[in-house]
Chains A and B, each alone.
Chain A
Amino acid sequence: MSPGADERDDAALLRAVARGDEQSLATLYDRHAGWLTVRMSRRCAMPDVVDHAVQDTFLALWQKAGAYRGGGDVAAFIWGIGIRRLIDAIRRDTGARRWPPWRAAKPEVVVSAEDQVLAGIEHGRLGQALATLSPELRGAIEATVLDGLTCAEAGVLLGVAEGTVKSRCHRARVALRAALADQQAGPQERAYRQKVWGTS
């Protein structure tokens, strides 16, 4: 970042961008492009496509900064735009072979005892439950729940048909529920389960 870096908060920068201030766009880029690139790279292993998606995201900000209504984190707003630009970029690239978006080559390791102590029991249990899922099921859950994509969009991201995404989500939820069924759930986890599959 340049010396004398911009002290304005992200919302102020977005307002400046909406007015056509290019410098503010550059500052927003400097602040957010790094994590955006990493987060997108976790979902798409082709760096060219990720580069295009990052550019398109900030271009979309440049053109539509006025759509930000001031509620919630700017980062979440940017990710909401970004994930859809990523899907568009992947769609445009459908000619090329699509690599699996997760590093499926690495075998899952059981969460270590130390981590469990750090984490608190709920997390460790959820992590262990997730670890029992196959990579495809995990990917489906991540796309629909974490990223909030529709099944069609998730299909583009994962390189499968929409129906496949739906059935994988269903199987994932069933498996997670089974893995956690016989354990005591704390309040945080109950809220999470409510969110993921609608019951605790």
Chain B
Amino acid sequence: MTSSLPGPAGPAAGADGHAGEDLLAGYAAGTLQTIEVWSVEAHLTGCAGCRSALSAQVDTERLARNRSVLLARAALGDGGRARRLLGRCGLPEHLLRLLGATPSLRRSWLLSVLGVLAVVAGEAAAVKYGWIPGGGPGRLAGYRDPAVVAPFLLLAPLLVLAGVAAAFLPMFDPAYRLAVAAPFSGFTLLLVRTLSALTAALVPVIAAAFLLPGPGWLPVALLLPSLALCAFALAAATVMGPRAAAVTAGVLWAVPVLLLATTHGPLPIVQRNAQFACAAVLCASAVVLLARRDRFEWGWMR
């Protein structure tokens, strides 16, 4: 790195081997000749006293300004490992920072989701692997015990809906009025938050679905209902307000599932006809959402 140039014996040397005041002033001002500069720099590398003497020659306001910016950046950090990873995938850094305010992405929330899934799917998985005996009414041909998956079918899309609701309901954002009063597009903020909450919720749900007994297409079959439910909630929010929309969406899923579970068995809710219905709801909701998206720019404080 730094070469071993003639050090203190060079022209930088004052009587005691240190750089004189004039020399440092000349260095700071850029008026020294090359060889003197090299000597001063080599000397400074080893001498703290001359370094602080040189600091005194630098504009204090400039140093103070850089100091406070440095400390602010150090305080901000880089957002953690997850953000670094996502940033390298090309996602803009400022959007990733916004996610920090979403409750559905926090560890506590995700742990709760995992907890619920563990209970709901765990029982079904235990039956599947024969750890506890299954049995009950309503057997469908080819499947051991569809009633066992009923709790999971009920709760899994609701868990996804809950994650998305936490991302867009004002009651979950304590600084909501700041977001409204800010120029950042309310719709973009909404999309960023809900899409990330959606992903964060879908992954464990679908993974848990693989543990369940029942048809192999069950994990995939959960996708459309979950997406449709969330899209419906968002679109309905532009009409009836966010809280009412979230509750309505939840009820619109829970009631059919419960009805089916007590009569035929819950599987029809994820079979073909229902999938088409969900796809239709998803498309219609997407259209409504896009058409009424400036409703989100005003917030819900009308």
Contact = CB atoms under 8 A, between A and B. Distances in A.
Given A22-B71, A76-B45, A34 B51 contact: yes
B2 A34 contact: no
A89 interface: no
A31 B10 contact: no
Interface in B1-59: 1-6, 9-11, 13, 27-28, 30-31, 33-39, 41, 44-46, 48, 51-52, 54-58
Interface stretch (A36-44, A91-99, A159-167, A177-185): A36-44
Contacts, number: 138
Contacts of A103: 30-31
B66 interface: yes
Interface string A127-156: 100110000001000100111100000000
B88 interface: no
A70 interface: no
B3 A123 contact: no
Nearest to A123: B10
Contacts of B41: 39, 146
Q: Which one of A22, A55, A73 has the highest number of Cβ atoms from chain B below 10 Å of its Cβ?
A: A55
B302 interface: no
B106 interface: no
B70 interface: yes
Nearest to B67: A29
Given A22-B74, A37-B58, A80-B1, A142 B38 contact: yes
A35 B19 CA distance: 13
B5 A192 contact: yes
18 contacts: A1-B52, A22-B71, A26-B67, A34-B55, A34-B58, A39-B41, A58-B74, A59-B74, A63-B78, A76-B2, A79-B2, A80-B1, A111-B33, A118-B13, A126-B6, A127-B33, A148-B2, A191-B4
The 3 closest A-B pairs by CB, nearest first: A34-B55, A127-B35, A148-B1
Interface of A: 1, 10, 22, 25-26, 29-35, 37-39, 41-42, 47, 51, 54-55, 58-59, 62-63, 73, 75-76, 79-80, 103, 106, 108-109, 111, 115, 118-120, 122-123, 126-127, 130-131, 138, 142, 145-148, 188-189, 191-192, 195-196
